[in-house]
C-alpha cells in the first residue's frame, strides 16, 4: 500500500488529493464578481509582507503570478491599485484595523489580516464602492475554512470603518507610514523632521517624468507638461498609456524620473568621449549619454534586462556597444574617459513607485548592497585614464550606500578626488546639493502645485576624478 493510502487508513480522513475531488453536486457557489481580484490582491500582499517577494516580479505579465495574469485588464489595474495603496499606507491601515478590534487576531489568522488590509485600502483610500469592499471581504472569509468563524467580525469591523472613515483617517494620520526600521534610519540621516517629510512624500504616487532628446520647452508645450530644473518634463496627471503620446513612436523621449536624469548630466561636455555605463539596463542613462554625443559601451549582467535595453535604444534610434556580463569581467581595450556606475541598491528612494521595497528589504540588505557597491566603485576607478571621471549614483536614501561609501573610498584610495557639483549650475535644485558638492535628492523635494504632483526619487550622485 502506498503512503497516501496508509495515512488515510490511520487518520480515517481522505488524503488532501482525494478531498479536493469534491463529489458531484457539492461544487461551491460561483465566485461573486470582483471576488477573484480581491482574493488575488490579498494573496500577493501576503507574499510581499510574509515572504518578502517583490511586487514587480509578481505583476510581470510574462513571468508573474498566474492568478494575477489570469485577471482581465481592468481587474489587473484594480489589483495593482489595491496593492500599491495597501503597501503605501500599511502601518496606518494596520492601526485602523487594530483600533476596531477588541482582542487582537490570533497569530494563525494572518490570511484574514491580509483580507482586512485589502478591504481597508479600498474603503479608506480608493474610489471603489465601500459596500463591495465589505461584502467581498466577508465572502473571502467565508470561503476560507480557517477564517469562516471570523466572517461576522470582518463584517462588523469593515462596516464600522465605512461609517467612521473620516475619524479613522484623522486618528491614524499620526502613525508613521513607513516601517520602524526605515523611519529610524531616515531620522538618523536627515533629522526627525525631514525624515517625516520624506515618509509622508512616499504616500504620493510619483508623477510621470520624461527625458527628451532635445528642446524640452517645445515638448513640454506639446504634451501639456512643464520643464523641471533637471531639464526633464513632468506630465500633468492623465488617463491612458504613455505609449500613445506624441513622440513615443518617433523615439523623441523616454520615461525617466527627474532625479534619475541627474547623474548622466554630471559629466559635463562628453561629445566624442568614450564612456562606459556599467549597470546600464533598462537604459535611461545610457540613452542620455549617447544623446549627449558620447561613444557609449553599455554593460549589463542580466540578459533579460539587456534585451530590454536593446529594445529601448532601438525605439530611440540610439546606438551603443552592448556588453552582456558581469562588470567585474569588463576590461576596455584602453582606459576610458568616463564611467557611469549606477549601481544596484536598496532602492529606498523609489518607494513612491515601488512601495513594496520597504517591506521586502531591510537593514541587512542595505549593508550587503553597500559592500557590493564599494567593490563595484573601486573596480570602476581602475578603468578610467588619468583625469578620467567616474560618476557614482544610486536610488537609495541611505548614506551607507552614498555619502559614507564615497567618503571611505576617497579616504583610503590614492589619486581619487571629488569634483564638487556647483549649485549655480542647478538653479531650482540648490537644496539637493550637499556641502561637499554631491547630489542628494529626496521624494520631499520639488514641491507640487494644483496641476503637477511634486516630488522626485531619492537619489545620490557623486563625481569622482581619478589621477
Ligand X SMILES: C[S@@+](CC[C@H](N)C(=O)[O-])C[C@H]1O[C@@H](n2cnc3c(N)ncnc32)[C@H](O)[C@@H]1O
List active site positions: 395
231 labelled binding-site residue? no
C-alpha 289/C-alpha 273 separation (Å) is 10
- Residue closer to ligand X (CB basis): 248 or 330: 330
Scan residues 299-338 and list those touching ligand X (CB under 6 A).
299-302, 305, 326-327
Residues near 224 by beta carbon (within 8 Å), at least 6 away in sequence? 235, 236, 238
- Residue closer to ligand X (CB basis): 283 or 355: 283
Least separation in angstroms between residue 243's CB and ligand X is: 18
279 labelled binding-site residue? yes
Least separation in angstroms between residue 441's CB and ligand X is: 15
- Residue closer to ligand X (CB basis): 337 or 342: 342
Q: Find where cell 520624506 sits.
A: 198
Residue 311 DSSP class: H
420 labelled binding-site residue? no
C-alpha 277/C-alpha 285 separation (Å) is 8
> Quick one: which of 84, 86, 116, 96 has its CA closest to 170?
96
- Exactly one of 335, 344, 437, 454 binds ligand X (CB under 6 A); that residue is 344
Scan residues 244-303 and list those touching ligand X (CB under 6 A).
260, 279-285, 299-302
**Is 445:432 a contact under the CB 8 Å cutoff?**
yes
Closest residue to ligand X, based on beta-carbon distance: 279
Least separation in angstroms between residue 427's CB and ligand X is: 24
282 labelled binding-site residue? yes
Q: Is the dihedral of CA 6, 9, 15, 21 positive or negative?
A: positive
102 labelled binding-site residue? no
Least separation in angstroms between residue 282's CB and ligand X is: 5
How many residues belong to the site for ligand X (CB under 6 A)?
A: 17
Containing 347, the helix (H) or strand (E) segment is none
- Residue closer to ligand X (CB basis): 158 or 358: 358
Least separation in angstroms between residue 104's CB and ligand X is: 40
- Residue closer to ligand X (CB basis): 76 or 285: 285
Least separation in angstroms between residue 281's CB and ligand X is: 4
What's phi and psi for 214, nearest 5 deg? -160, 165
Scan residues 14-53 and list those touching ligand X (CB under 6 A).
none
Containing 441, the helix (H) or strand (E) segment is strand 439-441
Residue 347, CB-side half-sphere exposure with 13 Å CA sphere: 15
Residues near 73 by beta carbon (within 8 Å), at least 6 away in sequence? none
449 labelled binding-site residue? no
- Residue closer to ligand X (CB basis): 37 or 313: 313
Least separation in angstroms between residue 103's CB and ligand X is: 45
Name the burial class of residue 314, with classes exposed (0-12), middle (13-18) and buried (19+) by CB atoms within 10 angstroms of its CB: exposed
285 labelled binding-site residue? yes
Residues near 464 by beta carbon (within 8 Å), at least 6 away in sequence? 381, 389, 390, 391, 392, 406, 409, 410, 416, 417, 418, 419
- Residue closer to ligand X (CB basis): 321 or 326: 326
Q: Is the dihedral of CA 376, 378, 384, 388 positive or negative?
A: positive
C-alpha 249/C-alpha 444 separation (Å) is 33
Q: Buried b vs exposed e over 164-199: b needs ≥16 C-beta within 10 Å?
A: eeeebeeebeeebbbbeebbebbbebbeeeebbebb
Helix (H/G/I), strand (E/B), else coil: 246 = coil
**Is 381:413 a contact under the CB 8 Å cutoff?**
yes
Q: Find where cell 571629488 sits.
A: 418
280 labelled binding-site residue? yes
For 309, the grid coordinates are 535595453
- Residue closer to ligand X (CB basis): 197 or 308: 308
Scan residues 191-230 and list those touching ligand X (CB under 6 A).
none
The site string for ligand X over 399-428 (x = CB under 6 A, - otherwise) reads: ------------------------------
Residues near 111 by beta carbon (within 8 Å), at least 6 away in sequence? 42, 46, 144, 146, 147
Least separation in angstroms between residue 90's CB and ligand X is: 25
- Exactly one of 342, 356, 374, 401 binds ligand X (CB under 6 A); that residue is 342
Footprint of ligand X (CB under 6 A):
260, 279-285, 299-302, 305, 326-327, 342, 344
Q: Binding site for S-adenosyl-L-methionine: what residues are annotated?
A: 279-285, 300, 326, 342
Q: Binding site: what residues are annotated?
A: 279-285, 300, 326, 342
Amino acid at each position: 500500500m502506498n503512503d497516501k493510502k496508509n495515512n488515510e487508513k490511520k487518520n480515517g480522513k481522505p488524503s488532501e488529493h482525494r478531498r479536493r475531488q469534491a463529489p458531484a453536486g457539492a461544487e461551491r457557489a460561483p465566485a461573486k464578481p470582483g471576488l477573484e481580484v480581491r482574493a488575488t490582491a490579498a494573496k500577493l500582499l501576503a507574499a510581499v509582507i510574509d515572504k518578502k517577494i517583490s511586487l514587480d516580479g509578481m505583476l510581470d505579465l510574462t513571468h508573474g503570478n498566474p492568478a494575477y495574469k489570469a485577471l482581465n485588464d481592468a481587474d489587473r489595474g484594480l489589483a495593482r491599485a489595491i496593492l500599491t495603496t495597501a503597501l503605501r499606507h500599511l502601518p496606518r491601515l494596520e492601526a485602523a484595523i487594530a483600533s476596531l478590534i477588541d482582542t487582537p487576531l490570533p497569530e494563525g489568522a494572518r490570511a484574514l489580516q491580509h483580507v482586512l488590509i485589502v478591504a481597508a485600502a479600498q474603503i479608506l483610500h480608493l474610489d471603489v464602492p465601500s459596500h463591495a469592499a465589505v461584502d467581498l471581504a466577508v465572502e473571502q472569509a467565508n470561503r476560507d475554512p480557517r477564517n469562516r468563524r471570523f466572517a461576522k467580525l470582518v463584517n462588523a469591523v469593515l462596516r464600522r470603518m465605512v461609517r467612521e472613515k473620516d475619524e479613522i483617517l484623522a486618528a491614524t494620520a499620526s502613525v508613521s507610514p513607513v516601517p520602524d526600521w526605515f523611519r529610524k534610519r531616515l531620522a538618523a540621516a536627515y533629522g526627525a523632521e525631514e525624515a517625516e517629510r520624506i515618509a509622508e512624500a512616499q504616500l504620493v504616487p510619483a508623477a510621470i517624468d520624461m527625458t527628451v532628446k532635445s528642446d524640452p520647452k517645445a515638448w513640454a508645450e506639446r504634451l501639456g507638461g512643464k520643464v523641471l530644473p533637471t531639464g526633464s518634463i513632468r506630465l500633468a496627471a492623465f488617463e491612458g498609456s504613455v505609449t500613445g503620446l506624441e513622440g513615443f513612436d518617433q523615439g523623441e523621449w523616454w520615461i525617466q524620473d527627474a532625479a534619475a536624469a541627474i547623474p548622466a548630466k554630471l559629466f559635463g561636455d562628453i561629445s566624442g568621449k568614450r564612456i562606459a555605463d556599467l549597470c546600464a539596463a533598462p537604459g535611461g542613462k545610457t540613452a542620455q549619454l549617447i544623446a549627449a554625443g558620447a561613444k557609449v559601451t553599455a554593460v549589463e549582467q542580466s540578459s533579460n534586462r539587456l534585451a530590454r535595453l536593446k529594445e529601448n535604444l532601438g525605439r530611440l534610434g540610439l546606438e551603443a556597444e552592448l556588453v552582456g556580463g558581469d562588470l567585474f569581467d569588463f576590461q576596455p581595450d584602453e582606459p576610458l574617459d568616463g564611467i557611469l556606475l549606477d549601481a544596484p541598491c536598496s532602492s529606498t528612494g523609489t518607494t513612491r513607485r515601488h512601495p513594496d521595497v520597504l517591506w521586502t528589504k531591510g537593514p541587512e540588505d542595505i549593508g550587503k548592497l553597500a559592500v557590493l557597491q564599494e567593490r563595484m566603485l573601486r573596480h570602476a576607478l581602475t578603468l578610467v585614464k588619468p583625469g578620467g571621471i567616474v560618476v557614482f549614483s544610486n536610488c537609495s536614501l541611505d548614506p551607507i550606500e552614498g555619502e559614507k561609501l564615497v567618503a571611505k573610498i576617497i579616504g583610503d584610495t590614492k589619486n581619487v578626488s571629488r569634483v564638487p557639483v556647483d549649485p549655480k549650475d542647478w538653479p531650482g535644485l540648490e537644496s539637493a546639493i550637499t556641502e561637499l558638492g554631491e547630489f542628494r535628492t529626496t521624494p520631499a523635494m520639488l514641491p507640487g502645485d494644483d496641476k503637477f504632483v511634486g516630488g522626485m526619487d531619492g537619489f545620490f550622485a557623486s563625481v569622482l576624478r581619478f589621477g
